[in-house]
Structure 1
Amino acid sequence: MPPATQRQRKLTAGQSRQILFLALFLPVLVYGSGIAIMISALPDLPDTVAIHWNAEGEADGFDSPLVPIIANSALAVGLAALFFGMTWNGAKRGTSPTLVRLLTAFTPGFAVFMMVQMVPSLLNQRGLTAEQIAAQGVGLEWMLGLVVGLAVAGVCWLLAPQLEPVEAHTSEVAPLPLRATERAIWSQTATMSTLLWWILLAVITGGMTATIISTLDKPDQWYQIAIFGFVYAVVFSTMTWRVTVSPTGIAVRSALGWPVVRVPLEHIKRATVSDVDPLTEFGGWGIRFAGGRRLGIILQRGNALEIERNDGKRTLVVTIDDADVGASLLTSYLNR
């Protein structure tokens, strides 16, 4: 079966200019200005500056002033490319107008939030000794960044283009040829790509290791390990799902058996196949919610089994190989 038709939205020249200005030009200007200011302050900075502060606001990490400049430059390039790509691709692919508008406003707002924190935290260390830096602590830059960033995001929300909604294109499937008394079950495993597996494994391993190290000398905070361990186990369990279609409906069960999503046959209006882009339509991977009252179990890009319900609850979207087979079998049972 050919892939489901992708949703497309034709942008006007004015809408394209608005998105390019708000989601690309403004963030690049903010990031570039912030990095330039930090670089200009290098001659006045000591050889070692504070680059990290603990929860009490005390400096607990020190390094060359080049480290935060290089790190922030790399982070700025990555974030600018990521958020603009999500915004532009979402606008072109027909993603919910509200989500596109939110991304268009969030991108420059986050850039301001980040730079208003990073630039003063470095500039405030000009001309100070190591002892003065250690005693200085962290200021209220994060709060100022939050306020200014929200204000900028609010203005950009008002300036963002008003896009027309685009109906999701789903492909109808022919019912699987079954005799009236014949029963069949379809079961398929859906999992994330190998790259995403390794990325999540690295993040979870790093986070768990940091948690264990931070609690080695604090036995009264051992509960943090248990909490993070539980959260990580749930995250791992939602990286692989088993999708089963039977005469009773559809069940989507995670690797550990929980969580599980069931839709009885009598609550299914129709089963179709759609084409899904995780970032632009659902904002990422995993259990996600999207516009159009859709609940997604999003593990990969491409074909998805889409279950429209007749009980008023959210449409279920599961990205999976051979989605057309599952939809075809469900259609057969619905036609009985």
Structure 2
Amino acid sequence: MTPPRSTAVRRFVLVAITLPIALTLLSLIAQIAVVPTLPDPIATHWGLGGGPNGFGPVWVPLVLTGAVGLGLPLLLAASVLNGLRRGDRGATYRFLGAVALGESTLIAVLVTWTTLMQAGLADAADAPSATLPAIVAFVAAAGAGVLGWRLQPDEPYRPSTPVDLDRVALEPTERVVWLQSVRIAVSGMIVLGVSLLLIVACLVFTILTAPLPVVLMMAAVTLLMVAAVAMATAFHVRVDASGLSVTSVFGFPRIHIPLQDIDQVSAAHVSPMGEFGGWGLRWALGGGFGVVLRTGEGIRVRRRSGKVFTVTVDDAETGAAVLQALVARAARG
């Protein structure tokens, strides 16, 4: 395992926590300094034509900068930092650190610029176009994201060694069923919650800046994501003579792998963030598909086609051993 205070941990803290805090504090200081010279109300929304068409109290930019520009990056960092500290690694940690810095930069540049350019105006309706600030903010955010990625070391995820399974002997007519349930870990729920907050923030931004058709499309995407997250928080796992079944508590989605389709069964330690890039229904390059709801033991199945499926669940060794015995019995006919 990598030492707790490794370079990866220190650099992630720098990129995802320290730099966003510094950027946000500078932005707030600059905004607070010009509050006495701002019109009230202040322009908070610009139309496609470039002119302002939405207004609000002067404290709106301050709240937006603190809550979105700093709050979301800190929530994101807090949800994955423990994984890094206990030795988990993978490109996802590096990517999330870069995203946190990029998101903080976007808000800092855009909100501060559109606030400062209204200083001295008697009427916020006379505020200049926000097109240039938006372009510069997105470019700066992309650059900050790249910088955040480069500042962090490249430490790939290293899969653990599969656990040796106990042999389970089954008589030809013996009936056996193994049942278990699994719910998403608190850390996973935090990450998914932060993701939903980011989507909602995008929806709010879209409402403020985009025409109605785009708003409706973004709202539909948001509702779809909320439903997808809800259906991926808890599953029932069943091993029986038909194979391996993993079913959401809502009844959908359901993954079923018949015995005759299984080539190999194992129990292994699973790292959702390091191996699959997150929690829930996940697909990982080289790692196959998985229902990964927490860090820890899981059942891993390799199909005859070569595809791999993983589900995290308590007592995975027993479940995998029972499944392996059922596969062996089915192969004997």
Instruction: Confirm or deny that 1:307 pairs with 2:301.
Output: yes
Deviation at 1:272, TM superposition (A): 0.8
* Residues 1:260 and 2:254 aligned together: yes
Q: Aligned partners of 1:332 and 1:187: how far apart in 2? A: 15
Cα pair 1:113 1:146 within 8 Å, conserved? yes
Q: Report the alpha carbon displacement of residue 234 of structure 1 after superposing the two structures with TM.
A: 4.9
User: How is 1:1-336 mapped onto 2 (pairs within 5 angstroms)?
Assistant: 8-10=1-3, 14-53=7-46, 59=52, 61-86=54-79, 88-130=81-123, 132-133=125-126, 136=128, 138-163=130-155, 165-168=157-160, 170-192=162-184, 233-255=227-249, 257-265=251-259, 266-276=261-271, 278=272, 282-290=276-284, 292-300=286-294, 302-313=296-307, 315-336=308-329
Structure-2 change in CA distance of 1:259 and 1:179 (3 Å): same
In structure 2, the gaps of 5 or more residues are none
Q: RMSD in angstroms over aligned alpha carbons?
A: 4.0
Secondary structure at the aligned position of 1:51 is classed as: strand
Read off the aligned partner of 1:243 and give its amino acid letter.
V
Call closer, same or farther: CA 1:149–1:255 in 2, change over 3 Å: same
Number of residue pairs matched? 314
Unaligned runs of 5+ in 1: 1-7
One-letter identity of the residue aligned with 2:136: L
- Equivalent residues of 1:104, 1:156 under 8 A apart: yes
SS of equivalent residue, structure 1 residue 271: strand
Structure 1 residue 168, shift from structure 2 partner: 2.6
- Range that drifts further, 88-97 or 100-109: 88-97
Change in 2 beyond 3 A, CA 1:48/1:261: same
Cα contact 2:92–2:273 (8 A) shared by 1:
no
Match of 1:245, SS state, is strand
**TM-score computed with the length of structure 2 as normaliser:** 0.74
Identical columns (%): 27
TM (norm. structure 1) is 0.73
Secondary structure (helix, strand or coil) at the match of 2:131 reads coil
CA contact (8 A) 1:249 1:263 kept: yes
Asked if the contact 1:287–1:298 (Cα under 8 Å) also holds between the matched residues in 2, the reply is yes
